[in-house]
Amino acid sequence: MALSDHFRELRARLIRSVLVWLILFIAAFFVYDQLLHIIEHPYRRAAERLAESGDVKTDLVITGSPASALTLQIKLCAVAAVVVSSPYWLREIWGFLLPGLHKNEKKWTRIFAAIAGPLFILGVATGYYALPKGVEMLINFTPADVTNLQDFTTFTSFIMRLLLLFGVAFEIPLFVVMLNLAGIVSGKTLGRYRAWIIMGTMIFAAVATPSPDALTMLMLALPMLLLFLIAEVIARTVDRARGRRRKSTAQWGDDEISPI
C-alpha cells in the first residue's frame, strides 16, 4: 500500500472507533446514576472503615462553578465509553498493524483481538478492586480534628485516571508479544533482561498506585509480572518456530531456483 493509502485506512479506523465511542458515550447518560454509584463506591467503603476507627472525618462535596456537576457527568460518561468500547478500538489498532506482519504471523490475529479488550477490562477491574484500600490509606493522613472534604469532580478524575492506568498497564505485555511477532524483540532478550523488567515493573507499580501500602502496589505489579512471564514464553515459542523455518530453507540461497 502507498503511504496515502495507509493514512486513509488510519482515518477510516479512527472514524469508526470514534463513532462507536460516541454511541456508547450517549448511552452512558441514560445509566449515569449507576455509573456514579460505581465510581463513588470505593470512597464510601474507605469512609466507612475510617468512621469505624473514629480518627478521620471525611465527606464528598462538589465545589467550583455551577457547571462542575455537568463537567463531572461528561467526564464520567466519556471514560465509561472508553472502557466499554475498548474491545473495538483495540481491535482496530491491531487491524491497522496487521499488514506489517508475515502471513504465518497473522494467525495470531483472532487471539489478540479476543484477548486485548478483556485484558484491558481486567486491568480496570483490578484497579477498582484495589481502590478502597488505597483511598483509605491516603485519607488516613488527614491530621486529627480536621475534616477531609473531597471535591467530587477532582476525586472522580483521580479515580478514572488510575483505572485507565491499570487497564493500559495490563496491555503492555500484549504489546511486547506484538513486538516479538514483528521481529523487534526476541524471547532471549526478554529473558536476559528479566531481572530489570521485574525491578522496573515494581518501580512502575509503586509510582503509579495512589497509596503507600504494599498491598495496592502488588495488586498492579503481580498481574503485570505474570503477564510478562507469559509474554516471554510466547516470544520464545515464536522464536523457536522461526528458527526451525530458517533451518529448513538454509540449504538454498535467496536467489536460487527451487528444485520443485
Other C-beta atoms closer than 10 Å to the C-beta of 17 total 17
pLDDT the model gives residue 101? 60
pLDDT in tens, 114-166: 777 788 888 888 888 877 777 777 777 777 777 778 787 788 878 887 888 88
Alpha carbon of 44 to those of 35, 67, 106, 146: distances in Å? Answer: 14, 24, 47, 18
Question: How much is the pLDDT for 24?
Answer: 92
Q: 93 pLDDT band (50/70/90 cuts)?
A: confident
**Whole-number mean pLDDT of the chain?**
77
Q: Comparing C-alpha atoms, which of 230, 228, 234, 233 is closest to residue 202? A: 228
pLDDT(251) > 70: no
For residue 67, what pLDDT band results from cuts at 50, 70 and 90?
confident
| Higher-confidence position of 146 and 22 | 22
Q: Which residue has the higher pLDDT, 253 or 186?
A: 186
User: What pLDDT band is residue 25 in, cutting at 50, 70 and 90?
Assistant: very high
DSSP collapsed to 3 states, 145-165 = CCEEEEEHHHHHHHHHHHHHH
* Highest-scoring range by mean pLDDT, 63-72, 104-113, 222-231: 222-231
Q: Is the pLDDT of residue 103 over 70?
A: no
The x, y and z cell numbers of residue 150, run together, are 473531597
Residue 210 confidence (pLDDT) above 80: no
Report pTM: 0.66
Q: What is the mean pLDDT of residues 22-29?
A: 92
88 or 207: which carries more pLDDT confidence? 88
**C-alpha–C-alpha distance, residues 61 and 25, integer Å:** 25
pLDDT category at 61 given cuts 50, 70, 90 is confident
Q: Which of 23-27, 73-77, 92-96, 157-161 has the highest mean pLDDT?
A: 23-27
